[in-house]
Chains A and B, each alone.
Chain A
Amino acid sequence: MKQNDINELISAYYDDELTQSELNYLLEETRKNPKLLSKLSNYGLISTISEKNEKVISIFDNISNFVQRRWVSNGLTASAAVLLTILFLSDPFESRFSESDQINSQIRDAIESEEAAKTFSLIENDLIPHVMSIIDNNGKSFGDDLAIDLSPVGFNRLDNNPGYFVKGKKKIQVRVEPNTLGISENRYWKSGTKLIYLYPTVDGKIISIYGDLSIQEVEKIIPVLIK
């Protein structure tokens, strides 16, 4: 069989259009000459390029209402909202949303779609990794945390978990670290009772507060922290 004929077989295989005998023949040919597989990869590349930029927005058609109903923010892009929702939904230890299993399952499927992956690529800043690290924090301390005193607003430090503070049944996480995010204004994200609040200080640090808090409560905590 000529080279062109083998390449035509590869093209037909790409389209799932080979007979069994042709497929067996192609398999043997690629065994003898593995470089033939690069042809297959090239054909896949054409499909990938032709799909580019299409359907990127469709993910929002399906889940944007769900996502946007649940996140209140002063600076939340749609794609960031989707990613935060993933983080919350993917936490196996805590049911963050009181939705039915069916709805959560549908959202999970949508989130794991190829369109979602492309959407995430549109996220343009470093905030999300930072917020992710706060949500996932396991008590890790960040330098200035140990100097934090929230007793003026009624919060006491947890002895075994220095980044955490409690006031009655309320538990919050507070971090102070160098502001490498480049943000100059406060940002917050709120879903239900959970609030993530970022406050850039004038001396180049970023205060991150996470927990069951209202914005009003955070606004009382911030002055204590920047004293």
Chain B
Amino acid sequence: MNIPQKNEALLLEKAKKGDKQAFNLMVIKYQPRIMSVLYGFLKIHSDAEDLTQQTFIKAWTNLEKFRGDSSFYTWIYRIAINLAKNFVKKPSTQIEKTSLSIDEHHYDLPEDLDPLSFISNEELKSDLDNFISSMPEKLKTAFILREYEGKSYEEIATVTNCPVGTVRSRIFRAREEIVNYFKKEVYETE
């Protein structure tokens, strides 16, 4: 059957059976949000980065305990907050990088755009808003309905009177344009 499933639930099932790549797919989408929250607490890039890694490692090692009562994001968010609270209360505490690692080595986070350099830049929100305003109307509408209004592809298809596949393609193209904009305009002017 070609019916969209709750992607996270399917991945969780695999991850609980030890599929690390399924777990990676689950957590990496939240990496910038977790880093942003931790940076808000700690105000130090390296600490935010280290605690983000520790959050993911702790989530992996405790995955059996996640029962799905809350969303997966809420669960890892709480892990991150608790780590940050403990870290702030006892700043001398060393972050355990080795003993908690998934494969007995550092947890590698994907690198392309550097999340921390973006998260700590307060001006980017208005840059993003300005760029979205300048995008082609169809891409802009699909992206805003998804990203800001939280509409499903099917709902967007109904509103914009086009096939779901077209909506999916427009949202993807909008995201690519934004990523390319940040790569060219922001990185190259730094």
**Is A11 touching B175 in the complex (CB atoms < 8 A)?**
yes
In the complex, A226 has a CB within 8 A of chain B:
no
Given the complex, which residues of B lie within 8 Å of A20, measured CB to CB? 5, 10
Does the CB pair B112–A41 fall under 8 Å? yes
Name the residue of chain B whose CB is nearest to the CB of A133. B89
Task: Assess A12 versus B168: contact at CB under 8 Å? Given A35-B110, A40-B25, A136-B89.
Answer: yes
Chain A residues within 8 Å of B146, by CB: 15
Q: Is A103 an interface residue (CB 8 A)?
A: no
Bin chain A's interface residue count: 35 or more
Number of A-B contacts (CB under 8 A): 154
13-38 of chain B: CB within 8 A of chain A: 14, 19, 21-22, 24-25, 28-33, 35-37
8 Å CB contact of B25 from A7, A27, A132: A27
A144 at the interface (CB under 8 A from B): no
Closest to B146 in A: A15
A120 and B40 within 8 A (CB): yes
Interface size class on chain B is 35 or more
Q: Are A30 and B24 in contact (CB under 8 A)?
A: yes
Q: How far is the CA of A118 from the CA of B21 in the complex (A)?
A: 30
Find chain B residues with CB under 8 A from A39 CB: 112
Q: Is the interface of B mostly helix, strand, loop or mixed?
A: helix
Residues 31 to 49 of chain A near chain B (Cβ within 8 Å): 31, 34-35, 37-49
**When A11-B171, A16-B6, A129-B88 are in contact, do A50 and B32 touch as well, CB less than 8 Å?**
no
B2 within 8 A of A: yes
Cβ of A142 to closest chain B Cβ, rounded Å: 16
Task: Please determine whether B37 and A26 come into contact, CB atoms closer than 8 angstroms.
Answer: no
Contact A19 to B3, CB < 8 A, known contacts A12-B172, A14-B29, A48-B33: yes
User: Knowing A11-B175, A50-B125 touch, does A30 contact B32 (C-beta < 8 A)?
Assistant: no
Q: Does A155 contact B (CB under 8 A)?
A: no
Which chain A residues lie closer than 8 Å to B119 at the CB level?
45, 48-49
User: Which 10 pairs show the lowest CB-CB distances between chains A and B?
Assistant: A121-B40, A38-B112, A38-B110, A11-B172, A45-B32, A48-B32, A37-B110, A8-B172, A52-B125, A44-B32
Beyond the given A13-B25, A44-B32, please list 4 additional residue pairs across the A-B interface where CB-CB is below 8 A. Answer: A13-B7, A15-B146, A44-B33, A112-B78
